């Protein structure tokens, strides 16, 4: 028998939205500066800071739902691109914005599909998918055709991002019981509803 469950999340307040967008902007703009400074021929400093963006997206997704997380990603994308034009080269700003938006939307979608499974699967798998897409888009758009050894940097950065993504499970687990606790609407209130069909029982 097919059944369905409904989850209604409370909308973000303007203050919450502003803070979330500001955090995203700082992470992306800061990483755009750091990516211009290689640690060695395999790694840039940006690989160490950028995965925090996926932690922020996953916390927002868990607390406020995918629609709110996508809204922050879109606003964060616009703000980060504008700021990045001031702190980095135009090519890096464009590459970063494109990679950020595509990766964030993928991360949010995968997390939402896996949110009902074991707590670690959604942030881990979504983070791996998002980091991989982000890294390939960013380095190919930002450095292809230049003297920068972008292929080796790509794989070095990706390896570090995947490692840091795994370590982000610890703070995500800690946040689950406070700021990442789902903000669910009370019964009887009118809120946007996300409908997810349950899996067919075996």
DSSP for residue 160: H
Check residue 186 and give its pLDDT: 58
* Pairwise CA distance, residues 133 & 113, whole Å: 18
Check residue 201 and give its pLDDT: 41
CB atoms within 10 A of CB 37: 9
Spatial CB neighbours of 64, under 8 Å, sequence gap ≥ 6: 9, 10, 11, 12, 16, 183
Instruction: Report helix, strand or coil for 176.
Output: coil
Residue 135 CA, distance from chain mean position: 13
Domains of the chain, by residue range, sit at 9-189
Query: Crossing angle, helix 52-64 and helix 14-34, to 10 degrees?
Result: 160
For 9-189, CATH number out of 1.25.10, 1.10.1760, 3.30.1490, 2.60.120 equals 1.10.1760
Mean per-residue pLDDT pooled into runs of 10, the chain (202 residues): 53 92 89 87 89 94 95 89 85 91 97 94 96 96 92 94 95 85 62 48 41
């Amino acid at each position: 028998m097919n059944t369905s469950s409904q989850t209604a999340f409370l909308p973000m307040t303007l203050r919450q939205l502003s803070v979330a967008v500001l955090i995203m902007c700082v992470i992306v703009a800061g990483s755009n500066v750091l990516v211009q400074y290689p640690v060695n021929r395999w790694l840039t400093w940006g690989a160490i800071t950028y995965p925090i963006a996926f932690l922020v997206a996953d916390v927002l997704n868990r607390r406020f739902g995918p629609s709110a997380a996508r809204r922050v990603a879109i606003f964060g994308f616009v703000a980060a691109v504008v700021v990045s034009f001031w702190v980095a080269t135009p090519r890096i700003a464009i590459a970063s914005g494109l990679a950020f938006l595509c990766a964030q939307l993928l991360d949010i979608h995968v997390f939402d599909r896996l949110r009902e499974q074991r707590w670690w699967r959604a942030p881990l798998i979504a983070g791996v998918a998002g980091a991989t897409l982000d890294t390939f888009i960013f380095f190919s758009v930002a450095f292809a055709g230049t003297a920068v050894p972008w292929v080796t940097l790509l794989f070095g950065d990706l390896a570090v991002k995947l490692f840091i993504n795994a370590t982000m499970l610890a703070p995500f687990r800690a946040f689950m019981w406070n700021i990442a606790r789902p903000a669910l609407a009370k019964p009887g209130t009118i809120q946007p509803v996300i409908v997810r069909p349950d899996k067919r029982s075996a």
